[in-house]
């Protein structure tokens, strides 16, 4: 089970990260091979959609639900995933902003990015807290806890992969 989760997330994460990482390093209005920003955004949107589907498959494969539980669980999950995706949109916008300013990032811009990134982390935590009782209404406590363990593990693996692809602020070329 652990190997299945790890392998799926790392492979999916690697696909997600290719475009933003290349864009962050290029810091240009066009991406690799002259791709327009609109084209990059479209590709990233498709990859993020695919990742969400893979995440759902990993949860389905690792969270044992009865037929009745599954009927009640998946609509709540879909609502949760939609709200989480909105926070992900903000995260992607922040990464894009960082990429566009990489090489000329000021101290004030860097601090603003940090503060907004922390606010996104808080939004994810608040969303999870909001959904604990909602999931617990449709599945028992142990299964609710298992779901949140899986959700958090998958998210942490994707975040680790993403973070490893984004250059550190102090790696900006000297002005």
From the CA atom positions of the chain, what is the Rg in Å?
18
Span 29-87, pLDDT tens digits? 444 445 666 766 666 666 666 677 689 999 999 999 999 999 999 999 999 999 999 99
Least Cα distance to 84 among 6, 147, 32 occurs for 147
Using the predicted structure, report yes or no on whether residue 155 has a pLDDT greater than 60: yes
pLDDT digits (tens, 9 = 90+) for 106-117: 999 999 999 999
Task: Show the 3-state SS of 15-72.
Answer: HHHHHHHHHHHHCCCCCHHHCCHHHHHHHHHHHHHHHHHHHHHHHHHHCCCCHHHHHH
Collapse the DSSP code of 166 into the 3-class scheme (helix H, G, I; strand E, B; otherwise coil) and give the result: coil
Residue 16: burial class (beta carbons within 10 Å; 0-12, 13-18, 19+): buried
How many distinct structural domains can be found in the chain?
1
Q: What pLDDT does residue 17 have? A: 39
Range of the domain at 82: 2-171
d(Cα 117, Cα 113) in Å, to the nearest integer? 6
| Residues in the chain, overall count | 175
Task: Give residue 172's pLDDT band: very low, low, confident or very high (50, 70, 90).
Answer: confident
Nearest to 43 by CA among 54, 52, 35, 53: 35
Question: pLDDT digit string (tens) for 121-132?
Answer: 999 999 999 999
User: pLDDT at position 33, please?
Assistant: 47
Four-point Cα dihedral 110, 111, 117, 118, nearest 10: 160
């Amino acid at each position: 089970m652990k190997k299945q989760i790890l392998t799926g997330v790392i492979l999916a994460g690697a696909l997600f990260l290719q475009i933003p990482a290349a864009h962050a390093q290029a810091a240009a209005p066009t991406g690799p091979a002259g791709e327009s920003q609109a084209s990059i955004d479209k590709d990233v949107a498709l990859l993020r959609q695919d990742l969400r589907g893979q995440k759902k498959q990993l949860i389905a494969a690792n969270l044992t639900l009865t037929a009745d539980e599954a009927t009640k669980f998946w609509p709540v999950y879909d609502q949760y995933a939609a709200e989480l995706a909105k926070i992900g949109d903000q995260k992607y916008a922040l990464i894009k902003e960082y990429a566009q300013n990489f090489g000329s990032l000021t101290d004030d811009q860097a601090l603003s990015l940090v503060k907004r990134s922390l606010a996104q982390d808080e939004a994810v935590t608040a969303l999870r807290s909001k959904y604990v009782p909602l999931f617990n209404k449709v599945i028992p406590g142990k299964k609710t806890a298992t779901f949140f363990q899986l959700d958090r593990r998958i998210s942490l693996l994707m975040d680790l992969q993403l973070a490893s692809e984004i250059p550190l602020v102090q790696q900006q070329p000297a002005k």
